[in-house]
Amino acid sequence: MRPTLALLVLAWIGPLSCGAAPSSPAAPATSPSPRAEGLTDADYAREAEAARGKMPQGFTLVLEKPFIVVGDEAPAVVRQRSVHTVRWAVDRLKADYFSKDPADIITVWLFKDKASYEKHAAELFGDRPHTPYGYYSPAHRALVMNIATGGGTLVHEIVHPFIHANFPACPPWLNEGLGSLYEQCIDRNGHIAGLTNWRLAGLKEAIQKRSLPSFENLCAMNGGGFYGANQGIHYAQARYLCYYLQERGLLTKFYADFVANQKADPTGLATLKKTLGEEDMAAFKKRWETWALGLTFP
pLDDT in tens, 141-157: 999 999 999 999 999 99
What pLDDT score was predicted for residue 298? 85
CATH of domain 41-165: 3.40.30.160
- The CATH 3.40.30.160 domain(s) of the chain lie at 41-165
CB atoms under 10 Å from CB of 157, counted, come to 26
Asked whether residue 105 carries a pLDDT value surpassing 50, the answer given is: yes
| In contact, 179 and 69? CB cutoff 8 Å | no
- DSSP structure string for 74-118: -HHHHHHHIIIIIIHHHHHHHHHT-SS--SS-EEEEEESSHHHHH
pLDDT range class, residue 77, cuts 50, 70, 90: very high
Asked whether residue 92 carries a pLDDT value surpassing 60, the answer given is: yes
Half-sphere exposure of 296 (CA within 13 A, CB side): 1
Three-state SS string across 16-27, please? Answer: ECCCCCCCCCCC
Asked whether residue 7 carries a pLDDT value surpassing 70, the answer given is: no
Asked whether residue 1 carries a pLDDT value surpassing 90, the answer given is: no
CB atoms under 10 Å from CB of 158, counted, come to 23
Asked whether residue 133 carries a pLDDT value surpassing 50, the answer given is: yes
Short-list 161, 152, 163, CA closest to 186: 152
| In contact, 226 and 170? CB cutoff 8 Å | no
Question: Which residues does 273 contact at the CB level (< 8 Å), separation at least 6?
Answer: 279, 281
pLDDT in tens, 181-218: 999 999 999 999 999 999 999 999 999 999 999 999 99
Short-list 285, 277, 261, CA closest to 210: 285
pLDDT in tens, 14-49: 456 544 443 333 333 333 344 456 788 999 999 999
Mean pLDDT of the residues in the chain? 89
AA identity, residue 152: G
- For the residues 64-92, what does the mean pLDDT come to? 97
Q: Is the pTM of this model over 0.85?
A: yes
